[in-house]
């Protein structure tokens, strides 16, 4: 009997967000069309979101994120799609993970870390 072991390859802890209160907007570079959805969890280096239409793995996008309960923590950050759930496993709106490419400033990164460290959110599995 083989036991499958899962190792956490993430560099940063993820925190659960309340999807119904955590809206995201995604734009492809050079396009005006916005895709709106929700975020499920977030870390210093990325976010797991859900959109009605999937993006492509490797695609670069601009992500706008409104964190719940925050009046100041809106993030706009370039990101890259690193995985997308298969349509067979995720037949409705599609979940996907985005890796942040860079923050506009260290202040943006620090604001996110302060928000995540406030103690309101539990760590995601």
pLDDT of residue 24: 92
Report the chain's C-alpha Rg in angstroms: 15
CB 27 within 8 A of CB 37: no
pLDDT of residue 80: 97
**15-116 carries CATH number 2.40.10.220:** yes
CB 45 within 8 A of CB 76: no
Q: Would you list the domain boundaries of the chain? A: 15-116
Task: Say which range, 23-32, 34-43, 116-125, has the weakest mean pLDDT.
Answer: 116-125
Q: 46 by DSSP, 3-state: which? A: strand
What pLDDT, in 10s, does the model give residues 54-109?
Answer: 999 999 999 998 877 766 658 889 999 999 988 777 677 899 999 999 987 888 88
Q: Give the span between the Cα atoms of 24 and 76, in whole angstroms.
A: 10
pLDDT of residue 104: 79
What percent of the chain shows pLDDT beyond 90?
Answer: 36
Torsion 115-117-119-124 (CA) sign: positive
pLDDT averaged over the chain?
A: 81
CB 14 within 8 A of CB 41: yes
């Amino acid at each position: 009997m083989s036991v499958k072991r899962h190792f956490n390859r993430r560099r940063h802890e993820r925190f659960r967000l309340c999807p119904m209160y955590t809206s995201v907007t995604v734009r492809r570079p050079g396009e005006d069309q916005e895709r709106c959805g929700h975020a499920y969890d977030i870390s210093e280096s990325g976010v797991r979101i859900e959109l009605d239409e999937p993006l492509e793995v490797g695609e670069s996008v601009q992500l706008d994120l409104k964190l719940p309960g925050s009046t100041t923590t809106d993030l706009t950050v370039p990101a890259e799609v690193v995985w997308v759930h298969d349509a067979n496993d995720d037949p409705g709106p599609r979940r996907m993970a985005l890796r942040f490419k860079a923050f506009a400033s260290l202040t943006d990164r620090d604001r996110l870390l302060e928000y995540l460290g406030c103690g309101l959110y539990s760590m995601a599995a």
